[in-house]
Structure 1
Amino acid sequence: MVIPVHDVNPVRRTPWVTYALITANVLVFLFTPGLAGSVAGDSSLSQLCHLHAFLDHYAAVPRELIHDQLPRFVPTGEVALSPQGAAGCVVGPAGYDKSPPLSVFTAMFLHGGWLHLLGNMLFLLIFGNNVEDRMGHVRYTLFYFACGYAASYGFALLNSESADPLIGASGAIAGVLGAYLVLYPKARVWVLVPFLIFLPLRLPAWLVLGSWFVLQAVYSSGEGVSDAGTVAYAAHIVGFLAGMLIAWPLRPGTPPPPEPRGLLFGRKARPRHTW
Structure 2
Amino acid sequence: MFPLRDHNPSAGTPYVVYGLIAANVLAYLMYSGLSNDPRALMQFYQSYAIIPANLARGEGAATLLTSVFIHGGLMHLGGNMLFLWIFGDNLEDEMGHLPFLAFYLACGIGAGLVHVLAAPGSQIPTVGASGAIAGVMGGYLLLFPKARVDILLILIIFFRVVTVPAALMLGLWLALQIFGGLGSDPDQGGVAYWAHAGGFAVGLVLMLPLWLRLGGPAFWSRTHGLPPNPPTQYTYSASRIPRLPRKRRRPGPWGK
TM above 0.5? yes
Residue number among 49, 57, 62 corresponding to 1:59 in the alignment: 49
The one-letter amino acid of 2:33's match is A
Task: Determine if the alignment matches structure 1 residue 209 to structure 2 residue 199.
Answer: no
Deviation at 1:245, TM superposition (A): 1.0
Aligned partner letter, 1:209: L
User: What's the CA shift string for 1:21-59, capped at 9, x where partnerless?
Assistant: 000001111111xx3375xxxx4xxx1111111111111
What is the CA distance between 1:229 and its match in structure 2?
A: 3.1
Report whether the alignment pairs 1:125 with 2:101: no
Structure 1: give runs of 5+ residues left out of the alignment: 70-99, 264-275
Matches within 5 A, 1:59-98: 59-69=49-59
Question: Following TM superposition, where does structure 1 have runs of at least 4 consecutive aligned residues deviating by more than 4 angstroms?
Answer: 258-263
Please state how far the C-alpha of 1:259 moved relative to its aligned partner. Answer: 6.6
Structure index of larger Rg = 2
8 A contact 1:188–1:260 mirrored in 2: no
Quote the offset at 1:153 in angstroms: 0.8
Shift of the alpha carbon at 1:101?
1.6
Distance (whole Å) between structure 1 residues aligned to residue 43 and residue 192 of structure 2: 21
- Structural RMSD (CA): 2.1
Match of 2:98 among 117, 130, 138: 138
Higher relative helix content:
2
Per the TM alignment, residue 230 of structure 1 is displaced from its structure 2 partner at its CA by 1.3
Alignment partner of 1:10: what SS? coil
Q: Distance in 1 between matches of 2:83 and 2:233?
A: 23
Give the stretch that moved more between structures: 204-213 or 249-258.
Answer: 249-258
Map 1:181-200 to 2 at 5 A. Answer: 181-195=141-155, 196-200=157-161
* TM-score, normalised relative to structure 1: 0.75
The runs of 5 or more residues in structure 2 that have no matched partner are: 236-256
Amino acid at match of 1:137: H
* Count of residues in Structure 1 that have an aligned counterpart in Structure 2: 221
Q: Which amino acid aligns with 1:155?
A: H
Cα distance between partner residues in 2 of 1:175 and 1:8 = 20
**Contact 2:110/2:202 (<8 A) preserved:** yes
Is the Cα contact below 8 Å between 2:131 and 2:199 reproduced in 1? yes
Q: CA deviation at 1:138?
A: 0.9
TM-score by length of 2: 0.80
Residue 109 of structure 1, CA deviation: 0.5
Q: Give yes or no for contact 1:127–1:180 (8 Å, CA) kept in 2.
A: yes
Give the match's secondary structure for 1:64: helix
Q: Which has more strand, going by share of residues?
A: 1
2:15 match: 16
Amino acid at match of 2:53: R
